[in-house]
A = this chain, B = another copy of it.
Amino acid sequence: MIAIDWGTSSLRGARLGVNGQVLESREFPRGILTVPPGQFEPVFHELFGDWMQAEGALCLISGMAGSRQGWQEAPYCPCPAGFAELGQHLLWLQPNRIALVPGLSFMNADTLHTPDVMRGEEVQIFGALQWTRRDSATLVLPGTHSKWVQVHSGRVTQFQTFMTGEVYALLSQHSILGKTLDLNGAFDEAVFLQGVDQSQQAGNVLHHLFAVRTLGLFERLSAAQLPSYLSGLLIGEELRQQRTPHPNSPAAQDAVIVIGSAALNQRYTLALQHLRIPCQSRGAEATWAGLFALASSC
């Protein structure tokens, strides 16, 4: 079985054995933004064609390749949605050979029914739940667009996106704050937590952000420390509302499952523990577990 995670900026693939073990993996800087319309199939065959020659090869592709700007649009599967719904909504590009996994959508009644969407994270969620053997949980998938997800009886019941990673990149690279901070500074845990504390104070994030400038101006933090402070402020803001889990949430008392890169898992785990929210973390290889399980159920 061949598992592909084709995102906005990168393309990863793994060849999995009969028990789901990774036999071989590849990664390319060929996110969907680098692929011209109509060129997805040639690019796929160029990079993974050799794997597809194996007899009975089955390939599932998750991520933005299933978006309107991708290979072909695989319509969102509305929440609540579980593993079964995901399998039923696979978009087959070649019958029983290559399929796109649909993303999930959710209409949030708490915020004037604004829609929310994910593509790729749904596979990681179901992969992580298999490992933890839980069928109800709160999960966070940190990244450019972080997702906070509620799973109940094996189905995603609701989720919310936070633009934390993208706002961090914009502010540190393109804003006035970028003029005084040194992005090469090593991660400073104490300063990061100072930012998390600040984000929990009175006021709001549009105000707190300005402290990145003034703490530099008044020489209370060095240029190398400022990125850690900014990161703490933004991740702290994302976590602010997570401090009061919905009382009806079946997972309110259980550890939050964090699924991300090692660097982001470290930051989120630090911030969550600092705010006394129990958590456990998992690597992004949850993608392979999720796609393998999905392929096994085809």
Q: List 13 A-B contacts (CB under 8 A).
A: A110-B202, A114-B211, A114-B215, A115-B211, A163-B206, A163-B207, A164-B206, A170-B171, A170-B175, A174-B174, A204-B238, A205-B205, A205-B206
Known contacts A210-B145, A210-B162; is A198 also within 8 Å of B114 by CB? yes
Contact: A206 with B115, CB < 8 Å?
no
* Copies of this chain: 2
Known: A115-B215, A163-B210, A170-B175. 14 other contacts (CB 8 A): A110-B202, A111-B202, A112-B197, A114-B208, A115-B214, A115-B220, A116-B214, A161-B210, A163-B206, A163-B207, A164-B206, A170-B170, A170-B171, A170-B174
Asked if A43 CB lies within 8 Å of chain B CBs, one says: no
Asked if A209 is an interface residue, CB under 8 A from chain B, the answer is yes
Q: Residues of A with Cβ closer than 8 Å to B?
A: 68, 110-112, 114-117, 145, 160-164, 166-167, 170-171, 174-176, 197-198, 201-211, 214-215, 217-218, 220, 234, 237-238, 240-241
Taking CB atoms, residues of chain B closer than 8 Å to A203 are 110-111, 160, 241
Are A238 and B206 in contact, with the CB atoms below 8 A?
A: yes
Q: Known contacts A110-B201, A201-B110; is A167 also within 8 Å of B115 by CB?
A: no
The prevalent SS among residues of A at the interface is: helix
Inter-chain CA distance A201–B108, complex, in Å, is 11
B240 touches A204 (CB 8 A): yes
Q: Which residues of B contact A217 (CB under 8 A)?
A: 68, 115, 117
Q: Which residues of B contact A218 (CB under 8 A)?
A: 115
CB nearest neighbor in B for A194: B112
Decide if B207 touches A160 in the complex (CB within 8 Å): yes
Distance in angstroms between the alpha carbons of A22 and B111 in the assembled complex: 49
Q: Are A161 and B207 in contact (CB under 8 A)?
A: yes
A204 to B220, CA, bound (A): 28
A206 to B163, CA, bound (A): 5
